[in-house]
Amino acid sequence: MDLKAMHKLSYGVYIVSSLKDGKYNGQIANTVFQISSNPASVAISINKQNLTHEFIEESNLFSVTVLKQETPMKFVGRFGFKSGREIDKFDGIDFKVIDGVPVVVENGVAYLIAKVVDKIDAFTHTVFVGKLIDAGILDKANPMTYAYYHEVKNGKSPKTAPTYIEEDKKGIKDRGGEMKKYRCIVCGYIYDPQLGDEENDIEPNTPFEDLPDDWTCPICGASKEDFEEVKEDD
């Protein structure tokens, strides 16, 4: 069975947020879809290990921010590869509280706010069904699709994402004569010297060793020390 067939399904890139005891948290999600139009309802899939899952279970409320195509990867990484148990993801972020629910407006094209009316146990995840209580347009920019996130921005899926499939690392080799590639041990991003790093203004054909000491992973913000050389027998 080739699970990569699942990659042919269509997804977007969203921030799902909720609240608990006066605190806010949010995470990147790709599984958000409309259920009905009258009443207007949506469903989201959230990993049971995530803090946002705990917040939604407590408040029975959640918001969805549809991210625009030009959203910086470090912004995605903040909500996708950082834990709300360790940092305040909303610190320094442009957001509003609408109907008591935090709504990220930075890099958003639209938002939805919903009250949970049902939930379905789905193995490692819970599918929360929510009835819309508010919605709005934030920007006229194009929304980011999951395909664009992967194919154009070279984005990765967190291990807790419903679409996560472990990559076959055997296909990534240090071929003789080519500059060595390095993998982020936090999010799995691979720095390819031949491509450089457009997000951080690193020109193509820049060896990893020549990157500035303060260079960080364009996806999750990890430092150079959090990268390991990609070897042929990985």
The pLDDT, as a whole number, for residue 155 is 81
Confidence of residue 62 (pLDDT cuts 50, 70, 90): very high
Say if residues 95 and 166 touch (Cβ distance below 8 Å).
Answer: no
DSSP string, 78-98: HHHTS-TTTS-TTTT--EEEE
Give the residue range(s) of CATH 2.20.28.10 domains in the chain.
182-229
**Average pLDDT over the chain, rounded to an integer:** 91
Give CA–CA dist 226/188, Å, rounded.
Answer: 10
CATH superfamily of 11-152: Electron Transport, Fmn-binding Protein; Chain A (2.30.110.10)
Reported as a single tens digit per residue, the pLDDT across 174-202 is 444 578 999 999 998 999 999 999 989 99
| Model pTM score | 0.85
> 24: which 2 tokens?
């806010």
The pLDDT, as a whole number, for residue 106 is 98
CATH class of 182-229: mainly beta
